[in-house]
Amino acid sequence: MDMTTQQSTAQVARRAMIDSQLRTSGVNEPWVLSAMAAVPREDFVPAAMRDAAYIDRAIALADGSQLASPLVHGRMLAEARPSADDKALLIGDDKGYLAALLRPLVGSLDALAPGGAASARGKGVYTLLVVDGAAEDLPRSFAALLAEGGRIVTGVLERGVTRLAVGTRVGGEIALLQVADMGIPVITEFRAQRRWNF
């Protein structure tokens, strides 16, 4: 298949993702659809998965992590309501798909890999924190990274079920509200420590 045919096929798949996955699931914000139409998802998956880049489920990546489904990222963007006034922090891959979606929508974007995020220290400089995955145990240090009133969008894992959650920093603590059950890849580093029961 030549390059022009590949690009055309990817554009058709991207349009189908918008029409049959996002719109039918309630993601209809024009700016979200525009952002997701502009970023070629196939550039962020292993070569063997390029033809399946727009399927409606997570895709395993070479580093052992997973690229969440398009619907997860569409809902995250919609709930985050990023703006040019935001100083945003992404917990995830700085060169990944969600970073590419967010970067043009915010004033500035920093990223931390999950492995280093739990011990991150900050002075409340971020107005928006987006976690690219689900956390069973959200690090308490995240509250210190957010400005008072700053927003967070993350997945959470409770009793084996992943949900999308949104929240704000109030009084130095993050208050989360779960908004939708969704199949969100779990971040290994944010699993709760297992305790022995006797």
Give pLDDT, residue 116.
81
Give pLDDT, residue 21.
94
The domain defined by 3-190 folds into Rossmann fold (3.40.50)
CA nearest 17: which of 47, 46, 59?
59
Give pLDDT, residue 25.
94
C-alpha 134, offset from chain centre: 9
Give pLDDT, residue 158.
93
Give pLDDT, residue 7.
64
pTM to 2 decimals? 0.91
Q: In what order do the strands lie in the sheet with 146-158?
A: 108-112, 87-91, 126-135, 146-158, 161-170, 173-181
Give pLDDT, residue 119.
72
Give pLDDT, residue 117.
75
Is the Cα torsion angle 140, 145, 148, 150 positive or negative in sign? negative
Percent with pLDDT over 90 in the chain: 78
Give pLDDT, residue 3.
52
Give 10-residue mean pLDDT values along the chain (198 residues).
Answer: 65 94 95 96 94 94 93 97 97 96 97 82 87 92 92 95 96 93 94 64
Task: List the chain domain ranges.
Answer: 3-190
Give pLDDT, residue 1.
53
Q: Which two tokens stand for residue 149?
A: 């009133």
Give pLDDT, residue 58.
96
